[in-house]
Structure 1
Amino acid sequence: MSLLSVSGVSARHGLLTAVREVTCEVEEGETVALVGANGAGKSTLLRTLAGAHPASAGRIAFGGHDVTHRPAHRRTALGMVLVPEGRRLFPGLTVAENLAVAARRARPGPWDTARVYTAFPALEPLRSRDAVSLSGGEQQMTAIARGLLSNPRLLMIDEVSLGLSPAAVDTVYRAMDEISDRPTLLLVEQDLARALAVADRVICLLEGQIVLSAPSREVTREQVTSAYFGLRRAPA
């Protein structure tokens, strides 16, 4: 049984259908990269999976549970955690206080404050710094650390590298690579080269629909780029 099973899911913004009949599965332990141009529906799909946006059709199952109509906090309690685009930290709280908010309502599991500081050692000297004063890379590491503190089975990270310098992106991915026993990952990533390098499988959206879904090792950057821009419809 797949950890996450998505069957015919659609989502709307008013009259606009942003996600169209998406069907896919994510296996336990996988890293899946979700790619596509701006407006392809990537963020809406992640928000719909996390319960932050309603599905207008279809079914979402997680760990054998139908969560299609469960509110976001109930999905988090099952282990579905979203790190949203823009990080959404509390800007006036320190790094330590932002992490404490997540730790207060965490699921039982291996992640605690001490472990996230070990996983992200760059955050240790920043504990007393307000989130608003952090660099983009430091904010992203804080947001991912906060997500891990919820002890997720599935960690969804929206726009991992958006707005970050190449050095900051390297730091964030290096930290994630060094995490042992990390959860299943579903990443929205604009950098195609990075997505293909880190993911076991890549899913490409175009106009809200899946136009490519394949193991990363079986597709080239050119094939993904063609699907990305709609130059040809790759079999999903």
Structure 2
Amino acid sequence: MSLLSLKSVRTDIGQYAVLHDVSFEVPEGGVFVLLGRNGAGKTTTLRSIMGLWTPSPGSITFRGQDITAMHTADIARLGIAYVPENMGIFGTLTVDENLVLATATGRIDPDRLKWVHGLFPALETFRDKQAWSLSGGQKQMLSVARAIIEPRDLILIDEPTKGLAPSIVDAMAEAFREIAETSTILLVEQNFGFAKKLGRDMAVIDDGRVVHAGSMAEFAADRALQDRLLSLSM
């Protein structure tokens, strides 16, 4: 059984149909990458999974349970976390306060915090600083850290490398590899070099529909298919 399954998902935003017929399966473990041109529907797919927008028709199941019409808070309690493109951190709170706020109980497990600090050492160095004062890369680290400060089965991450320096992107890749050892990551990413290093499975969305799905290794080896589906220089 797949960890996450989308079947014939359609999502309308106002009078516009953004997703027309999205179907794909995310197996448990590793990194699943969702690719596509700007405006293809990738972010809308993540927001639909998280219950921020409700698909109709279509279905979304997580560990065999239908979550299509569930509230976002209830979906989160099932073990799904979401890292939005805008990061979603609280600028006037400290790094530590942001992490505490992301827990269910208001208490952070010390061993878990030590692990998170190992992935992102800057968050330990600047733990008492307000989040607004962090660099762009450090804010992205904090956003991911909030999603993993408690164990999660599935983490949805939207464009984590956007605008980041290459050294920060490399550090993020190493962190994602370790996170994916215990959680499944569904990653939306425009940086194909970053995506192909991490992804085991993938799907391409175009105009609100999945137009290709399969192995990342096979897709990364097919330059003509990349150019046809993404219209990007790889």
Q: Structure 1, unaligned stretches of length 5 or more?
A: 231-236
Contact kept in structure 2, 1:204 and 1:224, CA below 8 Å: no
Structure 2 equivalent of residue 187 of structure 1 = 187
- Tell me, what secondary structure is at the counterpart of 1:163? coil
Structure 1 consecutive aligned stretches of length 4 or more whose deviation exceeds 4 Å: 108-111
* C-alpha separation in 2, matches of 1:228 and 1:180: 25
For residues 225 and 110 of structure 1, do their structure 2 counterparts lie closer, same or farther at Cα, with a shift above 3 Å needed?
farther
Instruction: State the Cα deviation string for residues 109-157 of structure 1 (Å, max 9, x = none).
Output: 9973232112322211010111111111111111111001242100010
- The alpha carbon displacement at 1:221 in A equals 4.0
- Tell me, what secondary structure is at the counterpart of 1:34? strand
- The alpha carbon displacement at 1:20 in A equals 1.4
- Tell me, what secondary structure is at the counterpart of 1:112? helix
Structure 1 equivalent of residue 127 of structure 2 = 127
- Tell me, what secondary structure is at the counterpart of 2:204? strand
* C-alpha separation in 2, matches of 1:6 and 1:181: 23
For residues 180 and 20 of structure 1, do their structure 2 counterparts lie closer, same or farther at Cα, with a shift above 3 Å needed?
closer
Structure 2 equivalent of residue 225 of structure 1 = 227
Structure 1 equivalent of residue 43 of structure 2 = 43
For residues 127 and 110 of structure 1, do their structure 2 counterparts lie closer, same or farther at Cα, with a shift above 3 Å needed?
closer
* C-alpha separation in 2, matches of 1:53 and 1:75: 12
Instruction: State the Cα deviation string for residues 6-61 of structure 1 (Å, max 9, x = none).
Output: 11111111121111111111111031111111111000000000111111210010
TM-score, length-normalised on structure 1? Answer: 0.90
* C-alpha separation in 1, matches of 2:105 and 2:22: 31
Contact kept in structure 2, 1:19 and 1:41, CA below 8 Å: yes
* C-alpha separation in 2, matches of 1:202 and 1:52: 23
Q: In structure 2, what residue type is equivalent to 1:229?
A: S
Q: Percent identity?
A: 37
TM-score, length-normalised on structure 2? Answer: 0.91
- How many residues get paired? 229
- The alpha carbon displacement at 1:178 in A equals 3.5
- Tell me, what secondary structure is at the counterpart of 1:57? coil
Structure 1 equivalent of residue 20 of structure 2 = 20
* C-alpha separation in 2, matches of 1:75 and 1:67: 7
* C-alpha separation in 1, matches of 2:172 and 2:74: 28
* C-alpha separation in 2, matches of 1:110 and 1:8: 42
For residues 163 and 61 of structure 1, do their structure 2 counterparts lie closer, same or farther at Cα, with a shift above 3 Å needed?
same
Q: In structure 2, what residue type is equivalent to 1:211?
A: V
For residues 178 and 4 of structure 1, do their structure 2 counterparts lie closer, same or farther at Cα, with a shift above 3 Å needed?
closer
